[in-house]
Chains A and B, each alone.
Chain A
């Protein structure tokens, strides 16, 4: 993940968050499921379990969003680059200024080597050390703090910007930000050193300089020589000429009151000896000014890239994104429900059964369906008790042989029966098979014959009334036949209310 990508990711996550807040979750889900599906179809291995996998996923997601995705990342990084160059330019100018100031020679006083070392080497080292300490201490994101500060300054924008949220997101990337800022800082410092170096060389080559050293500190020539020796330690072997000798140091000590060298030498002599000093100063600037900045910059740039490359992307928003994007490893798929089932209007849902009329007190032919056939005597008893009238006759239908059904119907037709009660076990369904039998009866007995259907449940060997919910599908199916003389009826069972 590079910076541009990260910016785009954050912008898009912010947009999605707003969409979620507006209740457009379905939209996001559909969009991301489609993208995830397309990525799968391309044969990519999608994996949200590792930081690496998540980064690839996020990048692929941003690519897939294409035109609809944010375009801010490139502009932001471009702006950042321009800013870095401008900063470098400014730092270079400051470097030039600093070198000119410390190397200013007016022919009256020699350039103070001590001042040069203090400003261009000492101060730089202190600043670098302070930066490293700040870096190691970590702490809050500077950008987050800036946002919070801005929100305090301009309270109106607070809510509109969602400053708290933005600060929170920025805080997530505090480490990456720290390294980036550090690297940026080092680049500026490099420019500073280059500016100083160039100025240094320019002044040395094109003007006359006399070097001396003076300090209000208790510092003798030997100590100064030792100090210079330590500073020059790194290049002592490689460039012996750039190491000031004790003699040179002693000769160059300058007392300010009155302005003269302690040895009493004249300034023009010092100008001749300046070559010995400037090589030392240039080497010091190279080794103690420029080199540490180059190293720090290389390291910071590397770390900045690494931190970005290792961003965990495991925060809540990202997790929600990956959940939308990645279909579960295993899943079911099937047809749309509308394509396979009864339309909702034809279903029963939670409809309750209508009250069912009791079996009428009239002479009735009994037809026992299937399972009730062997128990037809018990059923017959029940009907007799329920209606106070003995059934006129009993027939068996719904058995294994279709011929038996036909025979039963033929008997009823022959007897010109006008009242039939079909009794079935509760649990038997109003299949086309049963309805067909009723249709045949209607056809053979004529439109005026009363046809009733009753259900009896088997409770531990005893016949019991079926529950109302079981009657409902029967009512619904019989209603559809549009037959006024056909309906579900209730058999009173003693002992059952």
Chain B
């Protein structure tokens, strides 16, 4: 037996007609959002090998290839040059050798090479188009490789010709699977890899390992994403915004400074939220993702009414209790507020809203204080001179809003297939993730958030998010 190091890792060569979604499937599987994908047929021009490594060992490989362009012509050449079924693979090798430099068969040569080098083919069809005789030529050529393979049905449009394709495909492949490149989640990807185990007996063990490694890595990533969101909560709940005042500032100047505080506070929260999002996106290989987001969904005045709390799965009595508990945590009852000294929710989160004015009369969201306030000594011990400052957050709702937004975003990022090239749609996600979690989870998280608020008010901000909070967030992210 050869030693383990000399065995070639399993290699799956993704082939098919042009524009069937081959590259899309490869992008989804390899979590590579940079793979060229386009509606132009022949987008992929060269075979490209993607290796999945654990440490420095290659566990398996996926090869993206240019699509078949002249399958009927290639098959005709093969048939002309083959004398018996026994020499078919040899004839294919001959075809590739003879046409190595021939522009007429450049695509076929490039897609056949990795198969002849020992890979197994994954034949991709777009089942939104009907079966064509050219496809038969393609499958016939694949059969001539003498290699076992598998067929994958993808759909690029609403139409579905899957029923027509299946019985044809099963004549050529002993495995036929559906895989929606655009909607594929982590679970779908694992399912496809599990199917890959069946392609060849000797690849079963390494593919089993690949699945295990991927699951472990996903778990680790979930943890990191949860930590990033936890970090956001720690940071946001402790945030204090400060504006210096001239020693001789009059009431007008002070009012202006207070108004500026609202904008700055909002901007700071948004920046933190954005930073946490970028981190979650980076962790999931979605750099530079554009998001379409309904900022205004959270700016609804409704949010401040009890009704909106149903979005977080909180009932009125629960809310009341929560309000009291949070009041205890922040040293003030939630409804003990003075319009002039509170920052509005809209100001805190919404973009481009006209300051806090719209939210006067809403519960206090953050304290506003000056150098004489008791918080000044605790939170800004180094500050001198006159100033006004706002923070930390006091209203229990805002942390929940922030948390839910972060979780909804993270879930969307985690579910997003790397085959997609459009903007991430966060719209229509008013029904948050928090609401779907069990009550015990919400109570736990609430307690953690309150502890953070308490800590923030004594100036004791943890360097890393509490383990328990991270665990809970991990649970929420891992929830199906």
Contacts and interface: CB of A to CB of B under 8 A. Distances in A.
Interface of A: 40, 147-148, 151-152, 155, 158, 163-164, 167-168, 172, 314-316, 319, 323, 328-335, 337, 339-342, 346-349, 370-371, 398-400, 402, 425-433, 436, 457-459, 467, 469-470, 472-473, 476-477
Interface stretch (B69-77, B260-268, B330-338, B437-445): B69-77
Interface string B373-387: 000000011111100
Nearest to B31: A332
Given A164-B382, A334-B50, A341 B72 contact: no
Contacts of A432: 69-70, 104, 107
Interface residues of B, number: 74
Given A319-B464, A431-B18, A433-B73, A337 B133 contact: no
B132 A347 contact: no
11 contacts: A164-B382, A168-B463, A319-B231, A330-B54, A335-B49, A342-B42, A398-B132, A431-B69, A432-B69, A432-B70, A458-B130
B69 A473 contact: no
A148 B379 CA distance: 11
Contacts of B45: 340-342
A488 to B, nearest CB: 14
Contacts of B116: none
Given A155-B384, A337-B35, A431-B17, 4 more contacts: A152-B384, A330-B216, A334-B35, A429-B18
B463 A427 contact: no
For A147, A329, A426, A469, the residue with the greatest tally of chain B CB atoms inside 10 Å of its CB is: A329
Contact of B385 (A151, A155, A330): A155
A335 B36 CA distance: 11
Interface string B95-139: 000000000100100000000000000000010111111101100
B39 interface: yes
Contact of A402 (B17, B41, B76, B224): B76
Given A330-B217, A342-B36, A428-B132, A158 B382 contact: yes
B68 A431 contact: yes
Nearest to A346: B40
Contacts of A477: 40-41
A163 B53 CA distance: 44
Contacts of B221: 328
Contacts of A172: 463
Contacts of B42: 342
A155 B70 CA distance: 76
Nearest to B242: A164
B50 A400 contact: no
B259 interface: no
A433 B130 contact: no
A332 B38 contact: no
Contacts of B48: 334-335, 339-340
Interface in B13-71: 17-19, 23, 30-32, 34-36, 38-56, 59, 64, 67-71
A29 B157 CA distance: 39
Contacts of B372: none
Contacts of A323: 224, 283
A158 B384 contact: yes
Nearest to A351: B39
Contacts of A40: 55-56
B64 A340 contact: yes
B70 A433 contact: yes
For A337, A339, A348, the residue with the greatest tally of chain B CB atoms inside 10 Å of its CB is: A337
Nearest to A26: B287
Given A164-B382, A316-B231, A337-B36, A426 B129 contact: yes
Contacts of A371: 130-133
B40 A348 contact: yes
| 4 shortest interchain CB distances as A-B pairs | A427-B129, A341-B36, A315-B463, A151-B382
B221 to A, nearest CB: 7
Interface string B308-342: 00000000000000000000000000000000000
B159 interface: yes
Given A457-B159, A477-B41, A425 B213 contact: no
B143 to A, nearest CB: 14
B220 interface: yes
Contacts of A340: 36, 44-48, 64
B193 to A, nearest CB: 13
A348 B39 contact: yes
B152 interface: no
A400 B137 contact: yes
A400 B138 CA distance: 11
A433 B129 contact: no
Given A328-B217, A398-B132, A152 B382 contact: yes
Contacts of B31: 332
A332 B55 contact: no
B227 A433 contact: no
B214 interface: yes
Nearest to A457: B159
Contacts of A334: 30, 32, 35, 48-51
A371 B131 CA distance: 7
A348 B19 CA distance: 12
A473 B464 contact: no
Given A341-B45, A433-B73, A331 B53 contact: yes
Interface string B226-257: 01000100100000000000000000000000
Contact of B44 (A314, A341, A427): A341
Contact of B382 (A167, A341, A347): A167
A316 B39 contact: no
B130 A431 contact: no
Nearest to B131: A371
Contacts of A168: 461, 463
For A328, A399, A457, A476, the residue with the greatest tally of chain B CB atoms inside 10 Å of its CB is: A328
Interface string B403-433: 0000000000000000000000000000000
B161 A458 contact: yes
A472 to B, nearest CB: 6
Contacts of B32: 332, 334
A458 B44 CA distance: 28
A426 B159 CA distance: 10
Given A158-B382, A330-B217, A347 B38 contact: yes
A332 B464 contact: no
A333 B50 contact: yes
B44 A429 contact: no
A331 to B, nearest CB: 6
Contacts of B69: 431-433
Nearest to B230: A316
Nearest to A161: B382
Nearest to A341: B36
A163 B45 CA distance: 56
